[in-house]
A and B are shown apart, each in its own frame.
Chain A
Amino acid sequence: MKRGLKTQIPFFFMLLPGVIVLLINNYLPMFGVVIAFQQYRFKDNFITSLLTSKFIGFKNFEFFFKTPNAFTVTRNTILYNLAFIFLDIVIPVAMAIMLNELRNKMGAKLYQSIIFLPYFLSWIVVSYLAYSFFSFENGFINKGILGPLGLEPANWYFEPKYWPFILTFFHLWKYTGYNIVVYLASIVGIDGEYYEAAVIDGASKWQSIRHITIPLLKPVMIILTLLAVGRIFNADFGLFFNVPKNMGTLYPATDVIDTYVFRALRNSNNVGMSAAAGLYQAVLGCITVFSANLIVRKIDPEKALF
């Protein structure tokens, strides 16, 4: 047993820096999660405040469930995330493979850089651009496209039904370049000998992709999916808050947990309520990802997260 442990020691040294940072940055603050169940009042210093603040059970969670929209925002969050998870795999993988197959490497480099560019624009700036497209009177779509075609202008900011598509488009537009990078790196790492062997065996291009590239990308795809599933109750705040310009008319389709909590707590420094909201998302995310991880474990333990 002692000898066995000795071989493990170098590993512990390697883990040490990361563990220290995690303890300080993540695990130590976790004690503060009790605030979610307290009516936080300041007294002397932080520790005393934690100990003396009144315990109020689940009252801090009420604001979230009291709203007529509790179901809607949760549903929206989950559905958007499911769509994003699915599309964030299919599209970047397809594009990464295509980019890798291009014969003009200079072109591939150029396309990839350009596709990455949208990642650099903040959502606030994107919301200005979106407004110039979708505004009713002078927007580019109404005035520049639908008008000349003789079609009726649409009141974009008043019709929730368009927005799942609009927001999904913007999400893909911004993050595909980012996701492609991860998959491309995996593809580059695939040993060329596999492909050479396949060619010798007479496989077509499509067959090599199906039987070599995709299976070898599976670990990355599964990991990214599991990571995303863990955050299925968290939404990309910048996207959902800024791009729809905080229009109440669109809330049925664009309101997610994060935007709702932000608006509710914006002008009140209620530490307990914000802690409660975060806890709610975290617990649900945990349950979801544990279940997902368990399923993956049963199929192929090597590919699971933990």
Chain B
Amino acid sequence: MSKRKFRLANEISTGSNVVLNIIFVLISIVCLFPILLVIAISFTEEKQILLHGYNIIPREFSIKAYDFVLSAGDAIMRSYGISILVTILGTILSMSVITLYAYPLARSSFRYKNFFSFFVFFTMIFGGGLVPWFMVYSQLVRIRDTIWIMIVPYLINGFYVMIMRTFIKGSVPEALMESAKIDGAGEFRTFFSIVLPLLKPGLATIGLLSCLGYWNDWYLPLVFVTKRELFNIQYTMYQTLSSIQFLTSGSANFAELGKVLSDLPGESARMAIAVISIGPIIFAYGFFQKYFIKGLTIGAVKG
């Protein structure tokens, strides 16, 4: 990138640029510091943590925490695999379902758009409760203990649908879609050849959020999955962290509590767990990010 000696019209002044940069550096420190702290703790010797508390620079370096967490070796690899599979499959499918659903809602020529908007939005507020929901997947649509149970409940989501609808309305002028119709194109054709290319930032956004939603989820395996082979990485990690949470909450009172507690991971191992469960998803963020920053997609936006 060659340095420009002048600034483009409508760019901010150098002075403002410096000020903004400083603001962001400060904010970044506040956001980054805790992450670094977590990483540092995960590499600290457990005894040092008990005696001296947390320190941004480990008092005594140790990889024992990771040894401990990864000692389950195969199981960890497998749950990573499950997470990745569910995330990729889920993201692709949910983006399709959501975008397809949002398109009619964005078209003024669709007479029932308010009804269907309400139809999806209502589900964000109202639910039947845990047990009935559990029953549906247990007795009716029997996909418990399969990959699908971790994908289907999140395929469509009022939040994403509404945002996507707004993106469509904002990125694609109604006139453009109308003119396509006049030219004889059906709705599907319009959708695929005109709307989608213009929707890249919106797709990237929902894609990223959906991707994160699938990757981070431990709730579906908690409620539905009983087969160890299908546990994803978040659930595996959550099981440990939450167990510790429960055992130290005062709600557990049984005589062997102390022994159980001492067998569970200490602070450094818990932080190692946190680091591991973040894992690859950081790269997914990088993948989607290029669609959010203007200046890197100038060509692509106007397809």
Contacts and interface: CB of A to CB of B under 8 A. Distances in A.
A and B touch in the complex (CB under 8 A): yes
Interface in A1-34: 4, 7-8, 10-15, 17-19, 21-22, 24-33
B225 interface: no
A10 B126 CA distance: 29
B78 to A, nearest CB: 21
Nearest to B29: A114
A238 B277 CA distance: 17
A282 B126 contact: yes
Interface stretch (A65-73, A75-83, A151-159, A174-182): A174-182
A84 B242 CA distance: 27
B153 interface: yes
Interface string A100-115: 1111110111111111
A111 B31 CA distance: 10
A184 interface: yes
B166 A121 contact: no
Contacts of A24: 136, 140-141, 152
A105 to B, nearest CB: 5
Contacts of B293: 99-100, 105, 108-109, 112, 184, 188
Given A30-B127, A46-B139, A103-B17, A189 B117 contact: no
Nearest to A111: B24
A187 B291 CA distance: 11
Interface in B66-114: 96-98, 100-101, 103-104, 107, 109-112, 114
Given A30-B132, A178-B209, A189-B167, A18 B161 contact: yes
Contact of B118 (A7, A192, A306): A306
Contacts of B301: 188-189
A45 to B, nearest CB: 8
A188 B180 CA distance: 24
B32 interface: yes
Contact of B205 (A15, A22, A185): A185
Q: Is the interface of B mostly helix, strand, loop or mixed?
A: helix
A256 interface: no
Contacts of B25: 111
A297 to B, nearest CB: 10
Interface stretch (B4-12, B57-65, B257-265): B4-12
Contact of A18 (B28, B37, B156, B169): B156
Contacts of B296: 105
A109 B270 CA distance: 30
A260 to B, nearest CB: 15
Interface in B1-50: 7, 9-12, 14, 16-17, 20-21, 23-25, 27-28, 30-32, 34-35, 37-38
Q: Is the interface of A mostly helix, strand, loop or mixed?
A: helix
A294 interface: no
B141 A189 contact: no
B89 to A, nearest CB: 14
B133 A11 contact: no
Given A25-B136, A129-B34, A33 B166 contact: no
Contacts of B110: 8, 11
A239 to B, nearest CB: 14
B112 to A, nearest CB: 7
20 contacts: A15-B100, A17-B156, A18-B120, A21-B152, A21-B155, A22-B119, A25-B152, A26-B127, A111-B28, A115-B27, A115-B28, A121-B34, A122-B238, A125-B38, A185-B204, A186-B201, A195-B10, A231-B125, A271-B129, A305-B162
Given A105-B293, A118-B35, 5 more contacts: A18-B120, A19-B101, A107-B21, A128-B270, A220-B167
List the 8 shortest-distance A-B pairs measured between CB atoms, nearest first: A32-B132, A29-B128, A18-B101, A10-B187, A11-B104, A29-B132, A26-B123, A306-B117
Interface of B: 7, 9-12, 14, 16-17, 20-21, 23-25, 27-28, 30-32, 34-35, 37-38, 53-54, 96-98, 100-101, 103-104, 107, 109-112, 114-133, 135-136, 139-141, 152-153, 155-156, 158-159, 161-163, 165-167, 169-171, 186-188, 191, 201-202, 204-205, 208-209, 212, 216, 238, 241-242, 245, 249, 251, 267, 270-271, 274, 277-278, 281-282, 285-286, 289, 291-298, 301
